[in-house]
Amino acid sequence: MNEVAISIKGLRVIRGGNVVLKDLSLDIPKGRITGLLGPSGCGKTTLMRAIVGVQIVEAGEIQVLGHLAGSTALRKNISYVTQSPSVYEDLSVFANLQYFQRLYGVPVALVEEAIETVGLSDVRDKLVRNLSGGQRARVSLATALIPNPELLVLDEPTVGLDPVLRGELWATFRKLADDGATLLVSSHVMDEAERCDELILMREGRILSHSTLEQLLKETAAPDVESAFLKLVQRPGVAS
Amino acid sequence: MNLRLALATGSRVTAQLRNDFRTIALLIVVPVVLMTLMKWVFDGQDRVFQRVGVPLLGIFPMTSMFLVTSVTMLRERTSGTLERLLTTPLGKMDLLAGYALAFGLIAAIQAAVVSIVAFGLLGLETEGPAAAVLALAILNAIVGMAMGLLVSAFARSEFQAVQFMPALLLPQMLLCGLLGPRDTMARGLEIVSDFLPMTYAYNALSRVATGEGFSARVAGDTAVLLLTTVLALALGAATLRRRTG
């Protein structure tokens, strides 16, 4: 369980003249769910983009599953779900997923499976244009499940979903992790932290803490993640 | 390039258009309506209709494919699907080839319909083979598609993408020889028109229509159009950055 899926050394990213990630170093373990938490604008998305290899980085090295981030060998093994759903509005749910199924070259049965997992069976033939925001997000998530990847990078996958479905999706994430997949899931909802094996708290392009929920709460003597975050922010020398 | 991935992309793009019935209808009907208008505009001057009719069979698909492709690709860029695709096994050339297949197919249908109407109902005549006219019309559609892919990189919104049509294609229509022989234009414009792809589209089609057949000159025109396509696709591929800021 201590094998490393993602290893980041001295990552520095500049966007629009601002340093978004400041010499960040990090190891993310294999086969576990790692939660990436922090306020909007703290660099979560940029970090995820760097890991999947679509972000121009200023400095640093990222190894993903033993390859440099962004290398061709990784493309069948990683899935990335962007924050706003990236799906084709003028295609049906099924047609969207079928396209990704063909791109990954996997059996078509996986399309039905993914549709079922995200709970969209009753709208499978509807155009995405006619779906609600939450349903679109689930289509986007389903495209990531199709290749059965070793690493899933999910940028706020459960935002705006109803609690029952959210619970079901987290159960799916858990099952994927139990089967050996590595998940990196970002959220700005601190209560999702409880569902993760490890937590990374970020603020202003830096990592405030990287530990388990239990350790975090113990270390900060806080009752929940929200207060732990506040305590970490107020701690002197946190900016160093 | 991977043919399987290109075909998957081509069938996805066609499926998108199939679900957009109004766009399909406009793509097919508008050239027919315009061609019919031309027939009546030159009601008393059939010579003019005969001169511009065949070249228009290529210029219509070039224009509409330019528009449709630039907007479709812009959507791909702005909706996040492009970024998502570039994290999958899909290569840039697979994506571009997929677009070429899809829009080539639609252009073929478009060009076939307007050709049938023009030759069958409107009395348009060609001395060269109609099949050659159709093939050139499809090639012109591909040229338009390639240019559309390229300009989509320079547009931030669909408004801007649409404006590239009057900005880039309309001047070519004015200068390609459609309005009048190029050698009667101001000398400067004539030189400029030598560097515009649509000039070669006009030349190729009008030369085929006047019975030249696949002469060396038509082969030259075709080569320029192919070169334009390759160049625009290569530049377009260069604008599809896997990594962005």
Q: Check whether A1 has a pLDDT greater than 70.
A: no
Q: Quick one: tokens of B40?
A: 């009546």
Mean pLDDT of A97-118: 96
Nearest CA in chain A to B243: A54
Q: Check whether B120 has a pLDDT greater than 50.
A: yes
Asked if the Cβ–Cβ distance from A54 to B244 is below 8 Å, we say yes
A78 close to A149: Cβ distance less than 8 angstroms: yes
> What's the start-to-end Cα distance of chain A, in Å?
31
Q: Which amino acid is located at A78 in the chain?
A: I
**Does residue B245 form part of some domain?**
no
Q: Distance between CA atoms of B63 and B42, rounded to whole angstroms? A: 22
**Does residue B46 form part of some domain?**
yes
pLDDT in the model for residue A190: 76
Q: Distance between CA atoms of B143 and B218, rounded to whole angstroms? A: 16
CB-count exposure of residue A229 (10 Å: 0-12, 13-18, 19+)? buried
DSSP state, residue B244: B
**Does residue B220 form part of some domain?**
yes
- Report yes or no: A54 at the B interface, CB cutoff 8 Å: yes
Asked if the Cβ–Cβ distance from A70 to B4 is below 8 Å, we say no
Which phi and psi angles does A183 have, rounded to 5°? Answer: -120, 135
**Gyration radius (Cα) of chain A, Å:** 18
Nearest CA in chain B to A16: B245
pLDDT in the model for residue B239: 87
Q: Binning pLDDT at 50, 70 and 90, where does residue A2 land? A: low
A154 close to A186: Cβ distance less than 8 angstroms: yes
- Report yes or no: A60 at the B interface, CB cutoff 8 Å: no
pLDDT in the model for residue A237: 60
Q: Check whether B241 has a pLDDT greater than 90.
A: no
pLDDT in the model for residue A192: 84
**Does residue B60 form part of some domain?**
yes
- Report yes or no: A46 at the B interface, CB cutoff 8 Å: no
Q: What is the pLDDT of residues B56-66, one digit of tens each?
A: 999 999 999 99
In chain B, which residues touch A (CB < 8 A)? 4-5, 8-9, 12, 15-16, 19-20, 79-81, 83-90, 242-245
Q: Binning pLDDT at 50, 70 and 90, where does residue A196 land? A: very high
- Report yes or no: A102 at the B interface, CB cutoff 8 Å: yes
- The number of CA neighbours under 13 Å toward the Cβ of A47 is 36
- Report yes or no: A75 at the B interface, CB cutoff 8 Å: yes
Q: A102 contacts in B (CB within 8 Å)?
A: 4-5, 8
**Does residue B244 form part of some domain?**
no
Q: Could you give the ipTM of this predicted complex? A: 0.86
pLDDT in the model for residue A188: 79
Q: Binning pLDDT at 50, 70 and 90, where does residue A240 land? A: very low
Mean pLDDT of B162-172: 95
**Does residue B34 form part of some domain?**
yes
Range of the domain at B213: 3-239
Which phi and psi angles does A43 have, rounded to 5°? Answer: 110, 10
Asked if the Cβ–Cβ distance from A102 to B80 is below 8 Å, we say no
Residue reference for tokens 């109803």:
A162
Mean pLDDT of B51-55: 95
Average pLDDT, chain A: 92
Q: Check whether B202 has a pLDDT greater than 50.
A: yes
Asked if the Cβ–Cβ distance from B89 to A78 is below 8 Å, we say no
Which phi and psi angles does A201 have, rounded to 5°? Answer: -100, 130
**Does residue B19 form part of some domain?**
yes
**Does residue B67 form part of some domain?**
yes
Q: Check whether A141 has a pLDDT greater than 80.
A: yes
- How long is chain B? 245
Q: What single string gives the DSSP state of each residue in chain A?
A: ---EEEEEEEEEEEETTEEEEEEEEEEEETTSEEEEE--TTSSHHHHHHHHHT-B--SEEEEEETTEETT-GGGTTTEEEE-SS----TTSBHHHHHHHHHHHHT--THHHHHHHHHTT-GGGTTSBGGGS-HHHHHHHHHHHHHTT--SEEEEESTTTT--HHHHHHHHHHHHHHHHTT-EEEEEES-GGGGGG-SEEEEEETTEEEEEE-HHHHHHHHT-SSHHHHHHHHHHSTTTT-
Distance from CA of B23 to the nearest CA of A (A): 12
Of residues A194 and A183, more confidence is placed in A183
Number of other CB atoms surrounding residue A212 within 10 Å: 14
- Number of structural domains in chain B: 1
Q: Check whether A238 has a pLDDT greater than 60.
A: no
Asked if the Cβ–Cβ distance from B87 to A55 is below 8 Å, we say no
Asked if the Cβ–Cβ distance from A76 to B8 is below 8 Å, we say no
SS3 labels along B134-195: HHHHHHHHHHHHHHHHHHHHHCCCHHHHHHHHHHHHHHHHHHCCCCCCHHHCCHHHHHHHCC
Q: Distance between CA atoms of B55 and B62, rounded to whole angstroms? A: 11
Q: Check whether A68 has a pLDDT greater than 90.
A: yes
